[in-house]
Structures are given as structure tokens and as C-alpha cells.
Amino acid sequence: MVGIQGFGYLGQALSAGDIYAALFGSGMLRPRHDRFVLSPGHYVVVFYAVAAELGLIPLAELERYGLDGALLEAISTERTPLIDIACGSLGQGLSGAIGLALASRYAKDDRHTYAFVSDGEMEEGQLWEAAMFASHHKLDRLTVVIDANNSQVDGPVTFVSTIEPIADKWKAFGWQVEDVDGHDVGALVKALQSGVKDKPLVVIARTDILGRMKCFPPTVDGHFVKLDPPLLQAVVAELEAANA
């Protein structure tokens, strides 16, 4: 998809691919039943890949990713299929997810709400207000997954602001916390299954913005990758070799 125009959010897909495999590939998140909130809208490319793999959207739609008039826009919007809340401004997704989780509680249905957020959003005050609210209301059918890849548009998160220790902060806010290797699908699945009664769950997935791939030169901007033909061929070759 990113190779169509030669640039885009490939880094986010490589960073979060294993997270989405754990969420959707394991059958844990039931599409069209459970709720899914995408807080960082530029991550939607990895959701499209998973949705196509599961037959939820036509595979042919991937070939028009990011083009004018395409169903699958480069950054998610209210038009994005199958996502309950797709955010533009960062830091807002958890607040929306809490609304969905409360609605399910009042409706007495069995839906679970999952919110995917980025570590850069830990710099937003709104997120921490929402975290406090969710814990106070004991929303144990709410799960947050954080892609902790230390990357944001202005550079490494550690350069922009100090957000660690993330795990201790979420624990202090009353959440059940799991801190795992975000490229280990088995560890992610186990963490996602570790929820406890009366506490929302947060899974901190420690990842690499380029998915620990070796073909990228050290000068590449992982937040918005530019793919010239040689680099595109190298990326595809490494991915295919890893899955052979």
C-alpha cells in the first residue's frame, strides 16, 4: 500500500503489525461486535492490511490506498470502515472508548472495547484524565494497547518529553498493567487475556518503529517513510524471506 505513492506510514505498520495480529488474528477482538477505537489515525494502514487478510474488506481496495476518492484513506476519518471511533487529533481515543464501554455496561451486552493508542499520546493531559475516569468506574471490559515505539513526528518521544515510567504511571491510576515485547505475538495474546475484575487493562507493547527490519538505512524517517524503488524492493524481499 505504501509503495503505491512511494511514501507513507509504513513505519507504523511495521511497528504495530504484531499487535494487530494478536488483537484480530487470535479471534480475541470480534469485528462488528466488539468495539475498536483507533486513536492515532495514521496507523490505519495496518488495520486495512488485517481487515483484508480476514476478508472484512475487499483485497482489491488495498491497491487504491491513499488515492483521491479511495475508500481507504491514508489517515482514518469518519468514513473509515469497521472502526467505531477513528481520531484525528491525538489523545482523544481513550475518552471515546470509555463512552463505548459505559454504553455496553448500561446496555448489559457482552461487548468489549479495545482502544489502540501511541506512546506519544502519553504527553496529552486528556488521556490521563480519561485513564483516571475509567479506573474510578471500574471499566473492566475496556482494554488499551499502547504502541510504545519511542517515535513521533518531532523525533523520539524521549527527545520531546519524558513519559517513563509508563507502567508505574498506569498502575498509579488504578489500571491492570502488562508490559511486554510488542513483536512477540504469543506474549501479546497472553497479556491481552490477563484482565482482572473491576480494573481496566492496559498492555504496553514495546516495539521498534521499523519492526526491527534490517534493510532500512539509518537515515530513514520511521514516522513517514519514503520508499524509492530500490528500498521498496528490499523491504518486500525481507518481509517475504521472513515469512517463507
pLDDT of 151: 94
The number of domains in the chain is: 1
pLDDT of 26: 87
d(CA 130, CA 70): 33
- The pairing of beta strand 7-8 with beta strand 225-226: antiparallel
Whether residue 128 lies inside any domain: the answer is yes
CB-facing half-sphere around the CA of 171: CA atoms within 13 A: 8
Give the DSSP letter string of 82-128.
Answer: T-SEE-SSTT-HHHHHHHHHHHHHHHT----EEEEEEGGGGG-HHHH
Whether residue 237 lies inside any domain: the answer is no
Kindly list the strands in the beta sheet with 35-38, ordered across the sheet, starting from the edge strand earlier in the chain: 85-86, 35-38, 113-118, 142-148, 201-206, 176-181
pLDDT of 85: 96
Whether residue 169 lies inside any domain: the answer is yes
Whether residue 234 lies inside any domain: the answer is no
| Of residues 31, 75, 27, the one with CA closest to residue 51 | 31
Q: In the numeric block, which cell numbers belong to residue 23?
A: 488483537
The DSSP bridge partners found for residue 113 are 35, 142
Element (H, E) at 203: strand 201-206
Whether residue 204 lies inside any domain: the answer is yes
CB–CB of 4/229 below 8 Å?
no
**Other residues' Cβ atoms within 10 Å of the Cβ of residue 208:** 16
Whether residue 73 lies inside any domain: the answer is yes
Whether residue 241 lies inside any domain: the answer is no
Three-class DSSP category at 156: coil
pLDDT digits (tens, 9 = 90+) for 178-213: 999 999 999 999 999 999 999 999 999 999 999 999
d(CA 63, CA 130): 37
- Domain of 155: which CATH number? 3.40.50.970
pLDDT of 244: 84
d(CA 73, CA 79): 9
Whether residue 244 lies inside any domain: the answer is no
In the predicted model, residues of the chain with pLDDT beneath 50 are none
What is the extent of the structural domain holding 96? 2-229
Give the DSSP letter string of 15-75.
Answer: HHHHHHIIIIITS-S-TTTSEEEESSGGGHHHHHHHHHHTTSS-GGGGGGTTSTT-SS-SS
Query: From the centroid of its chain, how far is CA 200?
Result: 17
